[in-house]
Amino acid sequence: MKFLLYAFVGVHLFSLNSGKAIYRNDMSQRTFQEIKEEIAHYGDVAKAIINLAVYGKAQNRSYERLALLVDTVGPRLSGSKSLEKAIQIMYQNLKHDGLENVHLEPVRIPHWERGEERAVMLEPRMHTMAILGLGSSIGTPPEGITAEVLVVTSFDELQRRAREARGKIVVYNQPYTNYSQTVQYRVQGAVEAAKVGALATLIRSVASFSIYSPHTGVQKYQDGVPKIPTACVTVEDAEMISRMVSRGSRIVIQLKMGAKNYPDVDSFNTVAEIVGSKYPEQVVLVSGHLDSWDVGQGAMDDGGGAFISWEALSLIKDLGLRPKRTLRLVLWTAEEQGGIGAFQYYQLHKANTSKYSLVMESDSGTFLPSGLQFTGSEKARAIMKEVMNLLQPINITQVFSDGEGTDINFWIQAGVPGASLLDDLYKYFSFHHSRGDTITIMDPKQMNVAAAVWAVVSYVIADMEEMLPRS
């Protein structure tokens, strides 16, 4: 997952009685008080959804469904057989659940395999290091790369010490501030080091906490810049190497990586719906991504988000509800490689941008949510605040800024309002892209609450007489 922020300013609003876009000077718009009253009428429906998800027969269902998948299939790397097996399982699950228009939309996605990998400090003492190669990295020669290290804490320091970097393994020991700022070292570290003649890079894991756990993720090469092998190391090893160098020690590391890139392969975005009763051509999109990295089980990132999105439709269906607009569930493929499946979905459906009222993605964990992150016009934000007030029974009512997600940002950039769950990001980035991302860290009761939030928001927005006003 990646965190990108967007802001939009515009001049159009939406009709409150037809679901169609109109200009600001249209006199048929209802007052905001009337909109508030309409939303307040959903109080009983919201309570029914909450009761079913948190206290009723559906409690723990999303957790149990997720546990079955990840225990059966395991991690689901782009291009892997396990990802395609998971997609086929989910296709059958959604059909058996009684959802409508269940289908697979074909896309092409990257295929990379890490192979065997090993990093050993040879000087000044022997020390085997825990590493994880970064997505799309090339491998080393069979004999590996053995070289002295240069430790830097920033790209600026790398530039200042460019002459020292040639022929060395650059170790980045950048401090963790937040994910969106710190992840640039993982994504761009190899390219910047290659520009100054480095042989390979080892990058301190982008993590809020570590118990000697390397955290993988995507990295990107640049045309015209030599490709060099790149992997992440633990916070502990990055800090130790930095301390040793500061004391004057000469560090030599041998790095061996069997990583390989293969031609793109066929895959699918998985889609299911509850078709709208009055405006079926208009859509509220609810989503998470089904792929993961190849370590752990991908239970948190993003099994939880995918499964509370499925659960949202299940809850609405179980209560016999059918909103005016179509609720569309999309389980994305190849999100971890940069929203590959979602971009192809956008290309296929972008002609209908005006018909999307809200795009939602859960990809920051399904622990106990603090509230909803939202990007959209001020009028749309005011509406979302009223909708979130319906969740007072579980005390999750706040609306924050910056609703986003790798897979929905294409739509947000086009002006569609977007929403995501705000979760415990410290906990999330403690396990993110690591072997610790397993079902063990998931809490069924917290998933129940997250699913209730997701279902109430998606249903009410889909059922209101108006689409959300655009900026």
Query: Phi, psi at residue 90, to the nearest 5°?
Result: -70, -35
Instruction: Say how many C-beta atoms besides its own lie within 10 A of residue 81's C-beta.
Output: 11
Contact assessment for residue 30 and residue 43, using Cβ atoms and an 8 Å cutoff: no
Strand partners, 270: 104, 331
- Return the amino acid letter for 172: Y
Lateral strand order in the sheet of 371-375: 100-113, 260-274, 325-332, 279-289, 356-361, 418-422, 371-375, 398-401
Q: Is 115 helix (H, G, I), strand (E, B) or coil?
A: coil
Spatial separation of the C-alpha atoms in residues 96 and 25, rounded to whole Å: 48
Spatial separation of the C-alpha atoms in residues 231 and 247, rounded to whole Å: 25
- 84 as an active site residue: the answer is no
The number of residues making up the chain comes to 471
Spatial separation of the C-alpha atoms in residues 205 and 214, rounded to whole Å: 6
H/E stretch holding 108 = strand 100-113
Spatial separation of the C-alpha atoms in residues 400 and 393, rounded to whole Å: 19
DSSP string, 220-240: ---TTS----EEEE-HHHHHH
Spatial separation of the C-alpha atoms in residues 293 and 73, rounded to whole Å: 13
Query: Phi, psi at residue 346, to the nearest 5°?
Result: -60, -45
Spatial separation of the C-alpha atoms in residues 332 and 316, rounded to whole Å: 21
Cis amide linkage into residue 402, ω under 30° from 0: no
Active-site residue, selected from the candidate residues 192, 273, 311, 335 = 335
Contact assessment for residue 332 and residue 345, using Cβ atoms and an 8 Å cutoff: yes
Contacts of 293 (CB under 8 A, 6+ apart): 75, 77, 135, 216, 217, 301, 336, 433, 437
- Return the amino acid letter for 151: V
SS3 content of the chain, % helix, strand, coil (to 5): 35, 25, 40
The catalytic site residues sit at 335
